[in-house]
Amino acid sequence: MKTLIFTILTIAVIFGIYSFKKPKTEDISVDKGIQFFDGNFHQALLKSQELKKPIFLDVYATWCGPCKQLKKTTFKDEEVGNYFNANFINIAIDGETSEGQELIRKYNIRSYPSLLIIDGHGEVKTRTTGFQKPHILINFGKRIIP
């Protein structure tokens, strides 16, 4: 009986040690999707004016299923990332924060996710809602920048 307990404990310790193993560098993937601006909307507007690029705005909610699906799939797509990173200042804002609530009122947002393309002066150029497949999202962006 003692041998069985010792064997089980030894196996558990071995699995525990290997679970903390550092991942190989080739296992770490480089983020190939959309790179979102790390700042608030006002800062994104300033950057938009500076770089003369429109803003791609994702207004989401943490509990929203289609929002989660966009983040997990479409926003991580390499082709989507290449197109949006080259042509837009990308920003994602939680619609349930104070900043998000201001944007919801300003841009009359009624559902999540709401995806807007806005010029450097804060004017909406186009919008859509709901989950978008990668090729559909790229076509959405191409309404403004071919």
Q: What is the pLDDT of residue 143?
A: 95
Query: Where is average pLDDT lowest: 28-37, 83-92, 127-136?
Result: 28-37
Q: What is the pLDDT of residue 28?
A: 42
For the chain, list the domains and their CATH numbers: 28-141 (3.40.30.10)
Q: Tell whether omega for the bond before 113 is within 30 degrees of 0, i.e. cis.
A: yes
Query: Where is average pLDDT lowest: 14-18, 123-127, 129-133?
Result: 14-18
With vertex at residue 39, the alpha carbon angle to CA 34 and CA 45, rounded to the nearest 5 degrees, is 85
Secondary structure letter of residue 56 according to DSSP = E
Q: Which residue has the tokens 């190989």?
A: 24
Residue 5 has pLDDT above 80, yes or no: no
For the chain, what is the mean pLDDT?
89
Q: Which residue has the tokens 């994702």?
A: 58
Question: Taking the model in full, what pTM does it have?
Answer: 0.79
45-94 pLDDT, tens digit each: 999 999 999 999 999 999 999 999 999 999 999 999 999 999 999 999 99
Give the C-alpha separation, 18 to 31, whole Å.
26
Residue 29 has pLDDT above 50, yes or no: no
